[in-house]
Amino acid sequence: MAADRPRATTRIFLEGLRFRGRHGALAEERKLGGPFRADIALDVVSPPRRRDRLSDTLDYRAAFARTRAFMEGRPFRTLEALADAIAGALVRLPKVRWVRVRVTKLAPPLMPGATAAAEIERSREGALRLRRARA
């Protein structure tokens, strides 16, 4: 009957994650790279009672590792595609039901001090529907 017990949701934040990446529409951006920041919010299903057990929640090191792999990995031309790829990877983590990913380019080729960002939200249910539609 454990499946009948209500579950709680916890929102976990990973904010201010800074990376050097080679993302951008311009060839020079992809060649030289630049500073980026990722801010992540994840809704995690957890037991109704809070216990101090890592097995009851998300080990956020896994979310960080997946985010880092994209931020420091192959170049993306758009921030939207980069954020979407990260969100797709994070929503597949165990216990994650929803994710919001904001990727910020800290030095875009606009003007000194300007930033550019894209934010994507994904739910596990939406990701599952998308995957089934493609099958």
* Residues assigned a catalytic role: 105
- For the chain, where are the E strands, in sequence order? 8-21, 34-46, 96-105, 116-123
Phi, then psi, of 6 in degrees rounded to 5: -65, 150
Q: How far apart are CA 135 and CA 131, in angstroms?
A: 6
- For 47-95, where are the E strands, in sequence order? none
Phi, then psi, of 134 in degrees rounded to 5: -80, -20
CA-based nearest residue to 7, from 58, 44, 42: 44
Q: How far apart are CA 107 and CA 41, in angstroms?
A: 23
